[in-house]
Chain A
Amino acid sequence: MLRSVYTKTLREISTSLLWWSVGLFGYVFFSCYFYPVIASKASAFVQLIKDVSLMNFFTGASGDFVTPQGYLFSEFFSAIGPLLLIIFSIGFGADAIAGEENRKTADLLLSNPITRSRIILDKFLVLLTGNFVLSLALWLGFLLGGHIYHIQIDSLKLIQTNLGMFLLSLSFGSLAFMVSAWLGQKGLASSISTLISVISYFLWGFGSMVNSLKPYEKLSLFYYYAGDNPLKKGLSSKSALILLVPAVVCLIVALGTYEKRDIRI
Chain B
Amino acid sequence: MFAIETENLTKYYGKHRGVVSLFLQVKEGQIFGYLGPNGAGKTTTIRLLMNLIGPMDGNAKVLGLDLNKSGLEARRHIGYLPGELSLYEDLTGKELLNYLGNLGRSVDWALVAYLSELFECDLTRPIRELSRGNKQKIGLIQAFMHKPDLLILDEPTIGLDPLMQHAFLELLERVKKEGRTVFLSSHNLGEVEKSCDEIGIIREGKLVAVESVESLKQKFLKHIEVEFKSAPPLEAFAGITNIIDIKPKGTVFEFVIQGELDPMLKRIAEFEVENLTSHDISLEDIFMDYYSGEMENA
Contact = CB atoms under 8 A, between A and B. Distances in A.
Given A8-B88, A107-B82, 19 more contacts: A4-B102, A4-B103, A5-B103, A104-B82, A104-B85, A104-B86, A105-B86, A108-B82, A109-B103, A110-B51, A110-B52, A113-B73, A113-B75, A113-B103, A114-B72, A114-B104, A115-B72, A262-B52, A263-B53
Contacts of B54: 260-262
Contacts of A103: 86
Interface string A91-130: 0000000000001111111111111000000000000000
* In the complex, the 7 A-B pairs of residues with the closest C-beta atoms, listed nearest first: A104-B86, A113-B104, A112-B103, A111-B80, A107-B82, A2-B99, A113-B76
Determine chain B's interface SS by DSSP, over half rule.
Answer: loop
Given A2-B99, A112-B104, A112-B105, A107 B47 contact: yes
Interface string A252-264: 0000000011110
B159 to A, nearest CB: 15
A109 to B, nearest CB: 8
Given A110-B52, A113-B73, A3 B86 contact: no
A167 to B, nearest CB: 31
A115 B100 CA distance: 14
A261 B53 CA distance: 7
Contacts of B76: 113
B148 to A, nearest CB: 11
Given A260-B54, A263-B52, A108 B104 contact: no
Nearest to B43: A265
A12 interface: yes
Interface of B: 43, 47, 50-54, 72-73, 75-76, 78, 80, 82-88, 90-91, 95, 98-100, 102-105, 139, 142
B221 to A, nearest CB: 36
B52 A108 contact: no
Contact of B78 (A3, A4, A104, A111): A111
Contacts of A114: 72, 103-104
**Which among A103, A106, A113, A114 has the highest number of chain B CB atoms within 10 Å?**
A113
